[in-house]
Structure 1
C-alpha cells in the first residue's frame, strides 16, 4: 500500500486546503480526522470544506453523523479502517486531515477498549462538575487515578470529568485502560505525519477573521437550528468551538457582539491547547512552521517520495 499522509494542526491553520492540494497532486483521497466535521448540519461552524473546495477530490467521513449522536473515537476508527481498505483495493493514497489529535493517535498507536458510560453516570458527573468545578472533580479522581489527576491539574474539566465517569462506570482507572491499547490501524511504516505549527500571533488573528466570516456565512442560523431541536447541551456537537456562545445568543441570553467575542476567545484558547498536544503527543511528527502552501507542499513531497516506494507520479 501507499503510506498514508496524516496532516494535523491547530484550528484555522490551513489543514484542509493543504490536504486537498496534496490529494489532487498525488491522486489521493481525503479522510476526515476532525470530531466536529463528522456531524451534518454544522458545516459552517465546524469549518467543513465546501463543495467548491472539495471539487475533483473524493472526501470521506465528512458530515455523515446526526448532531444528536454521541459519536465516539472507536466508531470513527472503525469507519476509517473501512475507508482505508477501500482505498487500498483501488491503489489510492489516504490523506488524513483534522484537528482532533485523539483520532490520529488512535489510528497510529491503537485505542483503549473502554466500555460505554451509562447516561445516568454522565448526568451524575455533570452535576458534580457544575457544583464543584474542576477542583472538585480532581479531588474525587485523585484516590482512584492519581497519575492522571496530577497530570491534568485543574485546567481540563472535560478530561477530568471523563476520567471520573470511567472510574464510576467500571471501577477501573482511565490510566489502566490506556495501558491496554488495541493494535493500531496504521502500523509503523504505513504512514507519515505532518504537524502545522504556524506563528501563533498571526494564527490568532486569522481565527478572529475566520469566525467573522462564519457569522456572515450562516453560523448563527446553524446554532439556532440546533437549539430548536432541543439537543442536550452536553452532546459533543454542542461543545464545538464557539457553539456554547452562539446557542446562548440563539436563546436570547447574550448579545451577538458578546457571543462573537467569547467564541473567538475560546477558539484561540483551543488552538493553544492543540499546539500543546502536538508537542506532547506527536513529538516525532515533521513540523511545518511556514504558513505558505508552496512551502508546505515542498516539505511533504520531499519526505513522502523517500518513503513511498510504490510511487510513480511526479511530485513536483
Structure 2
C-alpha cells in the first residue's frame, strides 16, 4: 500500500477514533520534524485523568513539546470555546518558534471549532449554572425540559427529553443571556485555522481490530492504576454533570467503588462505552468533517519521509 503523502508546509491535524494509534503517530512526526503536539481531546485536558483517558506518558511528553494536556482541573466545566482560546495561544507560540503544529485527538467538536469556527455564546456566570444544576437535582430533568420548551422550543425539540447535560446547558444560556442557543449559533466566530492553512487526516483502522485494541487497552489501564485514579477523583465529590466525571469508564468504576457492581461489570461497561464512542466518532467525522482524508494505519508507514517538506 502506498504511503500517505502529508503536506508539512501546513498545520497538521490528526484525528481518529480512540485507540487508533493517533498519539504514536503524532509523536513520531513531532520527533522527526521538531514539531509540537497539541491536544485536541476533550478529556485529556483534565489533569486528574491521565491513565483513564490514555494521555501520553510522562516519558513521551519529555521527548517533544506537548501542549494542552492535563492543564485543567476536573472541577472546571471546560468548553470547546475555552479550548479554542487556549489553542490560539499555543498555535501562535508554535509559529513564533517555527515548530510544526500537530493537533491530535478524537474530539470532533474541537476539530470543528478549530476549522469551522464557533458560536458566539458568552461565558455563563457561575451563579446561573449552579442555580440550574440545583434545580436539575431537585426538580428533575423533565421539569427543566418543560421549561426549555417554553423559552427555547427549537432546542427543546432537538434534544432528547432526558439529556440532562444539554438541556441544562440550553437553559443556562437562555437564563444568562436572554437569548436562545440557536440565536447564538447563527452568530459564529471565525475559524482559527482556515481551510487553506491545514492538512487533515482521520486514522481509520478496521473495526474489529480497533475494538480488540480498545478492550485490551481498558484492561491495561486498570492494571496501571486507573482505578486508584478514579477513586481519588470520586473522593472530591464533584458534580456528576461535569465533563471529567463522565469520561469513559469513570461512572462505572465509581459505581464499583460504591459497591453497586462488581469490578468485572464495571470494566465491561467501560469497554462497551468506549467501543460505542469509537463507533460514533467514525460517523461524526464522516458527516461533519468530510475534509479529513481517511487513512488506514498501514498507509502511514514512512509517511514523514514521503511527505512534502
TM-score normalised to the size of structure 2? 0.86
CA distance in structure 2 between the partners assigned to 1:157 and 1:9 by the alignment = 27
Equivalent position to 1:22, from 13, 24, 29: 29
Equivalent position to 2:66, from 59, 65, 68: 59
CA distance in structure 2 between the partners assigned to 1:156 and 1:230 by the alignment = 22
How far off its partner does 1:152 sit?
4.5
Unaligned runs of 5+ in 1: 306-310, 312-316
Higher relative contact order (CA 8 A, sep 6+): 2
CA distance in structure 2 between the partners assigned to 1:29 and 1:16 by the alignment = 12
How far off its partner does 1:300 sit?
7.8
Size of the aligned set, in residue pairs, is 301
CA distance in structure 1 between the partners assigned to 2:251 and 2:50 by the alignment = 16
TM-score normalised to the size of structure 1? 0.84
How far off its partner does 1:240 sit?
0.6
CA distance in structure 1 between the partners assigned to 2:97 and 2:119 by the alignment = 30
**Map of 2:89 onto structure 1:** 82
**Map of 1:286 onto structure 2:** 293
CA distance in structure 1 between the partners assigned to 2:242 and 2:88 by the alignment = 25
CA RMSD of aligned residues (A): 2.7
- Cα gap change, 1:59 to 1:249, in 2 (>3 Å): same
Question: 3-state DSSP class of the match of 1:97?
Answer: strand
- Cα gap change, 1:131 to 1:185, in 2 (>3 Å): same
Equivalent position to 1:197, from 198, 201, 204: 204
* 1:242 aligns to 2:252 (yes or no): no
**Map of 1:209 onto structure 2:** 216
- Residues 249 and 273 in structure 2, CA contact (< 8 A), matched pair in contact too: yes
How far off its partner does 1:43 sit?
0.8
Unaligned runs of 5+ in 2: 1-7
Question: 3-state DSSP class of the match of 2:49?
Answer: coil
- Cα gap change, 1:151 to 1:231, in 2 (>3 Å): closer
Matches within 5 A, 1:161-180: 161-180=168-187
Tell me the alpha carbon deviations over residues 145-182 of structure 1, each in whole angstroms, 9 at most, x when there is no partner: 45545555568553344223323333322221111111
Equivalent position to 2:274, from 267, 279, 287: 267
Tell me the alpha carbon deviations over residues 114-160 of structure 1, each in whole angstroms, 9 at most, x when there is no partner: 13334555456555489665x77666545554554555556855334
- Residues 87 and 93 in structure 1, CA contact (< 8 A), matched pair in contact too: yes
How far off its partner does 1:204 sit?
1.8
Question: 3-state DSSP class of the match of 1:96?
Answer: strand
CA distance in structure 1 between the partners assigned to 2:305 and 2:136 by the alignment = 50
- Residues 112 and 177 in structure 1, CA contact (< 8 A), matched pair in contact too: yes
